[in-house]
């Protein structure tokens, strides 16, 4: 068992369970006893906590991020040090990472969905940048997708600490190299535009379903960010609108001066595109390569080209990127069209400049320079990967543990994994008849592979179970009828047991067997325990007619019943202030806390010429329960045409279920427990035709929420 489970930090945060682990910290679910809410706590790993300077920066950075407050940023509540532990208290997110969301989709996102996500990401970045905070590690793994489709950016400020704690590009880039900006890859000065580049790569991946650069090592991917041009998104997915492609490629411009100057600038273009998807931004001066000569435009074949000899150099260094698909195989036709495109553009450029010779030495110089940069990158990669370890035997190597056959949670909490500094990440989930659901089928790198310190991340493939299996869902607090119909439609046998409950609404499920996630087959039995409501003794309703309203109220309080909003009517029999009728008939059984609606007399109708009724005499408290003989009851009015109306009721978001009661002139016309997932309900109401100013009362969980007046005039 994890040593921190059950621990109470600062006499406030009780650690409940472990929910994740990263290179710097372990994340736990916890309860804040002071505010009675669930939170997430990141506890700094012990090897980093021993560095006093790192701890100081950890607190400074975290406190700066705690000042951020935006709906698209995961909130930081607290930063503290307790019992030799350094930790951050954050908002607990009910959702999954954008990376997991894309993996579940298994295909490129619809461009409208990608636009929805990137807009929220950029809003969060805009807020942080306006306060001088740069994220430095924007990637789908750090972006949370909530159940309502909203997005929150996580781990602000942590990336700076991560880079400070590591000392080689390989170590820093392992989890993020596919998203780092060219200036990060070179170790140059970075600013807010580095986040914009990384956000552009995230948008590229959402739209195309693939990363702009792939490689056998972090170094090779980093070199491509510096020297290469990715395939345009529309070459991979022609359904992407041209304007959205232009926004993506401008955000990914290698030259920071040709990138969006700010997150707000990119948001402005995203908003223009949202209003008019056919807009043409014409970013003709965007250069994907950070070169000093004339910029290379982001254009498709057939467009006019404005460039120089850098095109040839770029072709030498990036031809393999542009001419290979995701499977690594060459596509000669693509490469030929790309080369012809560059040549055609180059000729066009010469003609416009009024010259046709190509004798200038500039292209040759640029080509040689590009080759030198490429060879230098290869040399650096060889040194880091091979020669360095050979010449410096002090660099430690680690043997990769085997995690095949474990569950993901078992692997992440394995003592072998934790003691050797490895982390385990889910890469994908696939169906399997060989491995049980949830069991790891494959891992990369393979077991016993020797890796360096910064390469201790194991990516795993997890079995999703057999395609013929039926997965048991979480049906607690769901309505029995709906769940029973669903399970029986899948061929399962449903057994229902009843149990009284004060917490779960009547006819809703208290518990289930088997538990959520269990694999079942048609014919298997499922047991659902359903609530019969509170185990309360019913009360015999008394007759309140002929009592004053004050007396009736006291009787209802004694019986643990609730008085609804009284409705006043003219009455020739009962004096003003006396009860004319009640919606719960005498001698019928009602449960405690039931709402009782009363109709109270205003006296005779003055327009009918009746004399004014005497004021009611109030006694402190009735001595005996009223009986039917104390006052005559009113008979219902004869039937007459009715008018139908509806009322719009917004449901609360702080609970899963809510009991809704709607009365019209004191008569209950709607009484049901509904799921708040519906947000709004519009129950039907009716009243006799010609009813003026009918009083409509709405109760949520027996609490009066609103009183309105509706005309039922046809």
Positions annotated as catalytic residues are 137
Q: Give the β-pairing of 595-596 and 562-563.
A: parallel
Instruction: Check if the beta carbon of residue 70 is closer than 8 Å to that of residue 171.
Output: no
The answer to whether 575 and 616 are in contact (CB under 8 A) is yes
Which residues are annotated binding-site positions for ATP?
42
Tell me how long the chain is. Answer: 714
Q: State the Cα–Cα distance between residues 471 and 479, nearest whole angstrom.
A: 19
Sequence-ordered list of residues with C-beta below 8 angstroms from that of 112, at least 6 positions apart, any chain: none
Cβ pair 585, 563 in contact under 8 A: no
Confirm if 600 and 631 have CB atoms less than 8 A apart. no
Structure tokens at 550: 């004050």
CA proximity to 484, closest of 467, 506, 507: 507
Q: Are strands 667-675 and 657-664 parallel, antiparallel or unpaired?
A: antiparallel
- The CA–CA distances, whole Å, from 492 to 298, 326, 516 equal 57, 42, 15
Q: Is 590 exposed, middle or buried (0-12, 13-18, 19+ CB in 10 A)?
A: middle
Do residues 495 and 525 touch, judged by C-beta distance below 8 A?
yes
What angle separates helix 362-382 from helix 310-322, to the nearest 10 degrees?
Answer: 40
d(CA 567, CA 643): 20
Q: What does the alpha-carbon distance between residue 109 and residue 593 come to, in Å, rounded to a whole number?
A: 51
Task: Identify each DSSP E strand in 440-594 by its residue range.
Answer: 440-444, 450-452, 457-463, 470-471, 493-499, 509-513, 519-520, 525-531, 539-540, 562-563, 567-569, 579-582, 589-590
Number of C-alpha atoms within 13 angstroms, CB side, residue 46?
Answer: 8
Residues 6+ apart with CB under 8 A from 164: 54, 57
169, 136 Cβ separation under 8 angstroms: no
Angle between helices 332-352 and 310-322 (to 10 degrees): 160
Q: Which helix (H) or strand (E) holds 29?
A: strand 25-32
3-state secondary structure 140-182: HHHEEEECCCCEEECCCCHHHHHHHHCCCHHHHHCCCCCCCCH
Q: How far apart are CA 67 and CA 69, in angstroms?
A: 6
Rounded to whole angstroms, the Cα distance separating 647 from 454 reads 62
Residues 6+ apart with CB under 8 A from 291: 255, 310, 366
* DSSP-derived 3-state class of residue 452: strand
Tokens of 161: 């600490």
């Amino acid at each position: 068992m994890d040593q921190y489970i059950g621990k109470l930090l600062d006499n406030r945060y009780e650690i409940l369970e472990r929910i994740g682990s990263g290179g710097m910290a372990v994340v736990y679910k916890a309860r804040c006893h002071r505010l009675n809410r669930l939170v997430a706590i990141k506890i700094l790993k012990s090897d980093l906590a021993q560095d006093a300077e790192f701890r100081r920066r950890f607190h400074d950075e975290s406190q700066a991020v705690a000042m951020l407050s935006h709906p698209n940023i995961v909130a930081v509540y607290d930063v503290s040090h307790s019992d030799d532990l350094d930790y951050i208290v954050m908002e607990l997110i009910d959702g999954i990472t954008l990376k997991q969301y894309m993996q579940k989709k298994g295909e490129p996102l619809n461009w409208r969905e990608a636009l929805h996500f990137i807009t929220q990401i950029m809003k969060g970045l805009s807020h942080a940048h306006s306060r001088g905070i740069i994220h430095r590690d924007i990637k789908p793994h750090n972006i949370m997708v909530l159940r309502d489709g909203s997005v929150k950016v996580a781990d602000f400020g942590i990336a700076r600490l991560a880079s400070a704690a590591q000392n080689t590009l390989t170590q820093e880039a392992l989890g993020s190299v596919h998203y780092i900006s060219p200036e990060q890859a070179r170790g140059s000065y970075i600013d807010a535009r580095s986040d914009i580049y990384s956000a552009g790569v995230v948008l590229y991946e959402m739209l195309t379903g693939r990363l702009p650069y792939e490689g056998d090592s972090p170094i090779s991917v980093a070199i491509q960010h510096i020297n290469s041009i990715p395939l345009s998104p529309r070459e991979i997915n022609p359904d992407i609108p041209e304007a959205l492609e232009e926004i993506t490629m401008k955000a990914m411009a290698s030259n920071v001066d040709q990138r969006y100057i700010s997150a707000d600038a990119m948001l402005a273009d995203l908003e223009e595109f949202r209003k008019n998807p056919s807009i043409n931004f014409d970013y003709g001066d965007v250069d994907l390569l950070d070169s000093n000569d004339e910029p290379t435009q982001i254009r498709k074949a057939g467009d006019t080209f404005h460039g120089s000899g850098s095109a040839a150099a770029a072709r030498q260094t990036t031809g393999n990127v542009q001419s290979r698909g995701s499977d690594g195989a060459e596509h000669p036709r693509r490469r030929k069209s790309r080369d012809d495109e560059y040549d055609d553009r180059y000729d066009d450029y010469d003609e416009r400049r009024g010259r046709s010779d190509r004798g200038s030495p500039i292209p040759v110089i640029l080509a040689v320079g590009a080759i030198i940069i490429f060879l230098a990158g290869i040399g650096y990669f060889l040194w880091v990967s091979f020669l360095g370890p050979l010449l410096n035997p002090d660099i430690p190597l680690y043997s990769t543990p085997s995690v095949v056959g474990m569950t993901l949670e078992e692997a992440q909490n394995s003592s072998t994994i934790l003691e050797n500094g490895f982390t385990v990440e889910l890469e994908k989930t696939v169906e399997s008849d060989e491995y049980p659901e949830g069991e790891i089928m494959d891992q990369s790198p393979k077991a016993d592979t020797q890796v360096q310190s910064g390469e201790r991340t194991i990516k795993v493939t997890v079995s999703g179970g057999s395609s013929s299996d039926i997965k048991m869902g979480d049906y607690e607090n769901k309505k029995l009828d709906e769940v029973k119909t669903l399970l029986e439609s899948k061929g399962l046998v449903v057994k229902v047991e009843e149990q009284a409950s004060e917490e779960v609404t009547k006819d809703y499920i208290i518990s289930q067997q088997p538990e959520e996630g269990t694999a079942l087959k048609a014919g298997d039995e499922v047991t659902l325990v359903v609530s019969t409501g509170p185990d309360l003794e019913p009360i015999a309703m008394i007759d309140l007619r002929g009592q004053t309203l004050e007396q009736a109220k006291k009787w209802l309080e004694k019986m643990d019943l609730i008085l609804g909003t009284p409705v006043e009517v003219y009455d020739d029999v009962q004096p003003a202030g006396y009860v004319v009728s009640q919606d719960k008939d005498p001698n019928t059984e009602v449960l405690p806390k039931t709402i009782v609606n009363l109709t109270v007399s205003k006296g005779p109708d003055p327009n009918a010429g009746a004399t004014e009724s005497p004021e009611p005499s109030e006694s402190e408290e009735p001595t005996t329960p009223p009986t039917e003989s104390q006052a005559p009851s009113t008979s219902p009015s004869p039937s007459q045409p009715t008018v139908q109306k509806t009322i719009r009721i917004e449901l609360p978001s702080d609970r899963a279920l809510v009991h809704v009661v709607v009365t019209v002139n004191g008569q209950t016309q709607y009484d049901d427990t509904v799921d708040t997932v519906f947000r709004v309900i519009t129950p039907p109401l009716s009243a006799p035709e010609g009813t003026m100013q009918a009083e409509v009362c709405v109760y949520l969980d027996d609490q009066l929420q609103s009183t309105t007046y509706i005309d039922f005039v046809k």
